[in-house]
Amino acid sequence: MTDEFNMSMRKFLKQVGVTSQQAIEDAVRKDGGPEGKTYEAKVVLTIDGLEFEHTVSGQIKG
């Protein structure tokens, strides 16, 4: 892989992480806060032009 590819991928993943955290925090605030709650979370990543789908599942605990 080229340096340009690696930098582009890291930039994309950083954007995904930052914007996802902000969106989750906003949703949890609207739900009344995380105290004592567990949220089941799932992220599905697809890439147009590739036969690619990657799913990550987990829990977010308050």
Helix (H, G, I), strand (E, B), or coil: what is residue 7?
helix
Are the C-beta atoms of residues 53 and 46 closer than 8 Å to each other? yes
Q: Mark residue 28 as left, alpha or beta (left: phi above 0; alpha: psi -120 to 50; beta: remaining).
A: alpha
**0.85 exceeded by the pTM?**
no
Predicted confidence (pLDDT) per residue in 12-34, tens digit: 999 999 999 999 999 999 999 88
> Structural domain boundaries of the chain?
3-61
Q: What is the mean pLDDT of the chain?
A: 95
Q: What whole-number distance in Å separates Cα of residue 58 and Cα of residue 42?
A: 6
DSSP H/E element including 40: strand 38-46
What confidence score (pLDDT) does residue 34 get?
83
Predicted confidence (pLDDT) per residue in 32-43, tens digit: 988 889 999 999
H-assigned helices in 1-62: 3-30
